Structures are given as structure tokens and as C-alpha cells.
A and B are shown apart, each in its own frame.
Chain A
Amino acid sequence: MSEQFKPNIVAFLCNWCTYAGADLAGTSRIQYPANVKIIRVMCSGRVNPLYVVNALQQGADGVLISGCHPGDCHYMEGNYYARRRLKLLKELLEFTGVDPRRFNMSWVSASEGHKWKEVVEKAVEDAIAAGPFDQFRRRQIGW
């Protein structure tokens, strides 16, 4: 992929762990790429896996979902459901030929500002490697 390709990544973060972790990264002035745009949800369990499909269709080159570590969910079980559902979606996407590097999921706690940076860098790296994803973009078709 060309150097200048700046992938656009949509991220869904749970309010209690990863969103707080991302805030901590901010207060700690940890620098990371600007490609990741965050949507705050209360729990990773809220993330309807079809959001991922929708985001890719809406033009995202990659999607990132992050929640609390197993056992730490603020709502006790939400991240377990997220894990099961998104595993299935991941399988489906790979099977239909969506580059697996377009989808990442992570556990980042409220105190892991540094891990958040690493996760973002990984997601961006992956999306760059996978390249622009316009085959599936909604507005490019039929317009």
C-alpha cells in the first residue's frame, strides 16, 4: 500500500474500561495515530456485530472493538457476550473474503493507557497492510 494511505478506523469502546483507558492515555499524553475514531457505548456487549458490517459498508477501512478484561466487566458479563458474538462475525467476515486485518478486538482496562496506544497502533498497522476497503463502500455503488 502507498505510504500516504491513511486508513479510517471506527472503534467501539466500552465506557468503563477501554474508554476510560483511552482517556487515561490522553491525560498521560501518550501519543498515537489519529486514524481511530471512537464511538462510546456503555458496554462492549452493546456492540451489535452488524455495526461492524455497517461501518465497513459506510467506508471504514477497519473496525476496532474493545472492552473490559474477562471478569472485569462493569456489567459482569457483557464482554463475554461480545466475545462470543464477535468471534462468529470474525469467522464470517474472513470466510467471505474480508481481510481479517480489518477487524480487531481487544481487552483494555481503565488503567491500561499504554496498552490502548499499542492496540491503536496495531489496528492502524493492520488496516494499512489490508489497504483501502472501497469494494464494499455503500456510496461508491449505484451513484
Chain B
Amino acid sequence: MTEKPKLGVYVCHCGINISATVDVEAVSDYAQGLPNVVVARNYSYMCSDPGQLLIKDDIKEYGLNRVVVASCSPRMHEPTFRKALQEVGLNPYFLEMANIREQCSWVHQDREEATAKAKNLVDAAVAKVRMLEPLAPREVDAEPAALVIGAGIAGIQASLDIADAGFKVYLVEQSPSVGGRMAQLDKTFPTLDCSACILTPKMVDAANHPNIELLAYSEVEEVSGFVGNFEVKVRRKARYVDVSKCTGCGDCAEACRLANRFPNEFDEGMGKRSAIYLPFPQAVPAKYTIDPEKCLFLTRGRCGKSPKCVDACKPGAIDFEQKDEIVSFKVGAIIVATGFDVFDANKKPEYGYSDYPNVITGLEMERLVSASGPTGGEILVDNGEEKIVPKEIAFIQCVGSRDQSVGNEYCSRVCCMYTAKQAHLIKDKIPDATVKVYYIDVRAFGKGFEEFYDRVRREGIRYVRGNPSEIFKEGNKLVVKVEDTLTATPREDKFDLVVLAVGLTPRSDDRKIIDLLRLSQSPDRFLMEAHPKLRPVDTASDGIFLAGCCQGPKDIPDTVAQAKGAAASALIPLARGKVAIDAQVAEVIEETCRGCGFCVSICPYSAIELVTVNRMGNMVEVARVNEALCKGCGSCSAGCLSNSIQPRSFRDRQILPQIAALGGIE
């Protein structure tokens, strides 16, 4: 340090958030007496303009060269105050914050203790800030492209926005077609417009957009690098169909020896497909795929004399030699839009989902009423004896949501409304049907929701408040056992069909993406955003954003909104063309480095290498850091026996004084 440290200490009241528990006056008085402290103040809101002005003026007036702000968590306002310092020409890294809100005033009640602790925290901040060094944040070019993982409505929308802004997008979808869950839906609440009609055009746009490279039936294998410079490897799974030749005519599927033998995933298993298949008629790309687990030729090595599909395919698109291929590319930002799973109704055995064919899930109901569904839109159910058009239909709400017994405390946010919608559609298709909805309480919070809820009730849908305890069979009827909690009367109602309004859950295969991108999960196991209020589309990792239900249950408009938000955020580095890389990276003190290479083997980013240098005529090896790759975690430093590698702003000479300050209180 060249010049003598001149400190300013600023204690924030945060309204009364801090001052209610911490005697801020006492803290600033105390700070005033600490070594090198020129000025110490307290103020109602340090983060406000006047608050920042206070700091800036002092820096100018007293020539402060170090600033301590005792307020909220640095994870909240460090950038704010760094900027303030910078604005008056002080290096932004000459700032240290003492967290006296989240980690003091909010967690303690005893004013005396809290004040003492706050003083001590300021002590430590002062001790550290004196040792801080000026750092220069550096910039590197950002790859003008984005990766979008998942091609449901969220992924599609985000891709389109980024592509329309003029940047390259790699849209990766693991299933053979884009479209995701929305493609399975029939109508959408509350407006009842046809899901397919509004989605398919976007699917086609996404596939044809000049800036979008659609990688369907593909999975992200590897992601390395950092914001602006992610290196991505994607596995294109073999379809065993040459997509350049396939016309999507479907002759192969008809010809397949195992034609229509397998439950069709898209129809929730209610329809059938062949070993070579198109997930659904409007699939994009409209190319067939051979299911390697089902195809006789791929599983047994032979399929009659020769595979029928091969014979049937006029363009000769079938190619059993096809192999998975790995494509690699660089992107500047990543959007995760991996969507959700529906709750597995088998986890509520009392509802007999696995026992009775006429107990179905909401999503199955969607397929049942859908014109493109297995029954062509005709509502037909199997009551165990025959296929019938159900006349008495029940909906049970909150199956797998708001239910601790299955570990899902959250509300899935869409079930109330899709139930109302499906009830309406049933009334529409079977006018003489009686429809009852068993609910805990109805949440109709969205635009037009309440109105729609009223409408369906006017249409004669009966809402019964009660959480059914059991479903059993009596003759060819299903009996729902429930207590009507409004009239406190136990009842047993008979039905032909029971629809379980299953909730949304995190995808079972989320773990893969979590490990791939170092994401974290909220307690509800959905992917966690950087800040629940202020950074709902960001993740803790710069350049990686969340869109849609992977972050939590959402309806379509919310999903599209978040997708657009994620796209806008992802566009920032792309549009700027540059990203700032953190200046708080590790530095090697070559004079004392003994070249043992511990740091090299420790570094998870391969950011350190051994280089040979000339030390007084002797060639010796020392470590060297690639600052673009270093993330500043400091694991190398703690593993260095001569402490010759030090993360800037977290050096031993900066941390040890903190320890002394915190340890040495009488």
C-alpha cells in the first residue's frame, strides 16, 4: 500500500430495519475511534441517493481512500456502493461491507448484544479494508450466441426473441419434437383458445428461423467456461432416420412389424405408436424417429428378412448405421427451460389411480378431450366393464400439491383453472353430464380467472369443499368418500369418471442439468433464482438464466413472460459483445512459489499451469494463473503450503486481520 489508509465508515439505519435493534449512533461513534478512520457517520438509508452522496462528498472532502459500509448483505448492495466509489474516482474495490442487517439486526433481539456484534463486525471490516488493494475489472469478448435448453413454450419464446434480436440461438430439445407440455394441451384457460393453434406457428417459426439452430432429439453433455464464453457439447441422438430424406409421410410407421404396439408418450399412454414414430401429427421437425429400445432390428439385430420400414420408405431415409454425434459450439449465455413433470398419482394410492382405468389425471383428460387425442376428442372411458361416455364426473383438486404427505408444500398454481376449464369442456361435449369439483379452496388469481371460475359455476359445475379421503369401486361406479367441510356432512358420491387435478413437480431428470450448470434448488426442489424478488430469472451463475416451470409452477402467460425476461437478460452480454470478468482472481507470488503443483491439481477450472522461469540463472517451475479462467474461489490458496497463490481481495493478509479483529474482543 503506497498511501496511508484514510477510512470512512458509514452505518446504515435501513429505516428501522437496523436501528431498531442496533444502536447505530453508538456504532458510528465506536468506528470513529478505530485506527485510520477519518470520518464515521450513520444515516437512514445509505443505499439511497443522498446516502451515497454522503459517501461521495466525504471521499472528495477528506480524501478518503477506503470505505466501510455497515448495512445489509454485500450480496445485496456491494455493487451499489462499488459504483458510488467509482463515480468519484476511487477504486471500487476499496470497499468493505459489514453485514449488520441480515446477519445482525434481523436475527438478534437484545439491543446490547446486537450493538456489540455490529461494532465487532465493523471492527473486522475496518481491519480488512485497510489491507485491500485496487483492482481493475477486465473485459473479454462475449460469444454472440445463446444456448436454450428445452423447447417447450418457454424455450421456444426465449429463442425467438433472441433470434429476432439478431443473435444465433442453439435450441436443444431432448425429445424428438419441440412443443413440450403445451403441445399436449387442448384448450387454454381462461380464454379457451386452442393450444395447438397458438403454439404450432411458434414451433414452426423456431424451426425455420435463420438464427435458430434447432437441435431436437439432443441432449447437452458438457458445459464449461463462463459468461460470454461457454463451451457447449451437445449429443445428437441417432434417429436412425436421415432427416434430410424423411418426408414425414408415415408409411414406415404403418409398415412397422410392431405397428401401434406401444403406448404413445404424447397421449400419456392412452394412444399407441409404432417402433418408428412421430410423437404427434404436428411434430416439429416432422421427421420420424426409431425407438432404439423397441425396434426389433436395433434390439435383436434382425427384423424378419429385412426391416419393413426400410422397404416401405420410398426416399430410403431409414439408416440403421446412424450413430450419436457430438456437436460443440460456444455461446455467451444460457437459458434453462427444462419444464416440469406432472405429479405421479400413484403416490396417492387412496385414489386408486393404478387400480381403476376411469380414474385419470388432468393431463390425460387433456388428451381425452383433444381433437388430436387418442379418441379424436370423444370423451370415452373404460369403467372396467365397457367403454362408456361418462355422465357423472368428479374432479379432485390439489392432488400432489399443498400436500406435505407427498413432500410438496407448494401450490401448483394451474390446477384450479385447468380443472375449471376441463369441467367446462366436458359440459360442452356432454351437456347432460353432472360435474363435481372437490376442492380445498379455489385460487383464481390471474387475469380473467375469477370471471372464468364464475362462468363454469353458472354452467352448473358443482364445487364441493372437501378433500376426498378415498375412492373405491361399487358395481360399475366409482365412489368418492369425502366430507363436505362447509356442511360438515360426510358423503359418498358415485361417478363414472374421476379426474385427479395432479400438480406440477420438478423434472425427475433435473439433477443432470443442475450438475452440468452448477445450479441450486429451492426447498421445493425447483431450480433456484438468484433473488426471489429482484432477480427472478437469473441464477447464481452469471450468464445462466431460468425460464418457465423449471423455476416453479406457472401458467402459460407467466411462462411466456419469464421467457421473454430471460431472453432480455441473456441478450445483455450478447448485445454488449463484452463481459466483465471478476478482478478478484488468484495471483501467484512467483518469488516464493516452490512449483509443487498442488494448486494446479486443485483448480477445478484448470486455470493454473506450471511454467518454467529463470530464477537467477536457475530454471525453476512456478505456477501461473489464467485470469480469464480463474473464478477466484481460493481453493488453491488454502492448499498452498507457502501461501504463494492468493485470491485478490481474499488474501491471507486481508483475512488474518479480520480474524484478529473478531477473535480479539474482551
Contacts and interface: CB of A to CB of B under 8 A. Distances in A.
B664 A58 contact: yes
Interface in B620-643: 631-635, 637-639, 643
A39 B103 CA distance: 11
Would you list the 5 A-B pairs with minimal beta carbon distance, nearest first? A26-B102, A58-B663, A46-B634, A45-B635, A75-B633
A40 B634 contact: no
A102 B422 CA distance: 61
B114 A34 contact: yes
A8 interface: yes
A23 B103 contact: yes
B637 A23 contact: no
Given A37-B120, A54-B659, 15 more contacts: A23-B75, A23-B76, A26-B102, A26-B106, A34-B107, A38-B103, A39-B658, A40-B74, A42-B634, A42-B647, A60-B663, A75-B604, A75-B631, A111-B520, A111-B522
Contacts of A15: 75
A54 B120 CA distance: 17
B99 A38 contact: yes
Contacts of A51: 655-656, 659
Interface residues of A, number: 53
Contact of B528 (A47, A76, A110): A110
Interface of A: 8, 10, 15-17, 19-20, 22-23, 25-27, 29-34, 37-43, 45-49, 51, 54-60, 71-78, 81-82, 85, 109-111, 139
B474 interface: no
A27 B531 CA distance: 12
B520 to A, nearest CB: 6
A18 to B, nearest CB: 11
B34 to A, nearest CB: 16
Interface in B59-114: 73-76, 99, 101-104, 106-110, 113-114
Interface residues of B, number: 55
A57 B662 CA distance: 12
A81 to B, nearest CB: 5
Contacts of A43: 633-635
B665 interface: yes
A143 to B, nearest CB: 12
A46 B659 contact: no
A31 B650 contact: no
A33 B121 CA distance: 15
Given A8-B663, A30-B107, A54 B656 contact: yes
B523 interface: yes
B536 to A, nearest CB: 15
Nearest to A60: B663
Contacts of B633: 42-43, 45-46, 74-75, 78
Given A26-B106, A26-B107, A75-B633, A34 B74 contact: no
A17 to B, nearest CB: 8
Contacts of B121: 37-38
B46 to A, nearest CB: 17
Contacts of B117: 34, 37
B455 interface: no
Given A10-B662, A31-B109, A74-B518, A41 B103 contact: no
